Amino acid sequence: MGVTGINHITWSAGDVEAEVAFLVEVLRCVVVARWPKGAYLLAGDTWLAVTEGADDVRGDSDYSHIAFAIGADDVAAVRSRLAASGAKTWQDNWTEGDSIYFTDPAGHRLEVHVTDLVHRLRTASVAPWPGLEITDAGRALLDRASG
């Protein structure tokens, strides 16, 4: 058996308190533990760990990011909190489904996204981009979701 999902996500921040405040106040994550140089939070059921370290993120061409799931009814409120926090956007949304791409205080690239993988695969099946291949496992996932 292979991996079963994401166990946790860890990133560093030069100012842990600012990072935790952003995650709590803007994204509504929940702090479950903290220590002088870090904190554990929950983003839904996903475990996040923030630890003290350098704010050293990659350059503009790097597409690496973490996407958090949100409901369609929450997009406007999240967008408003992001604007109020001074978060900068790093990309406009070009995919199906509402997404907002932004950076946190440490410069990590993040996203809030409304749709899920099944929706993405369904959309891609109807309008595939060049070179896209939906595998047998992907088709099985779509079949299971269709019930």
Which string of DSSP letters, residue by residue, matches the chain? ----S--EEEEEES-HHHHHHHHHHTT--EEEEEETTEEEEEETTEEEEEEE-------TT----EEEE--GGGHHHHHHHHHHHTPPEEE---SSS-EEEEE-TT--EEEEE-S-HHHHHHHHHHSPPTT----HHHHHHHHHHH-
Residues with a known catalytic role: 111
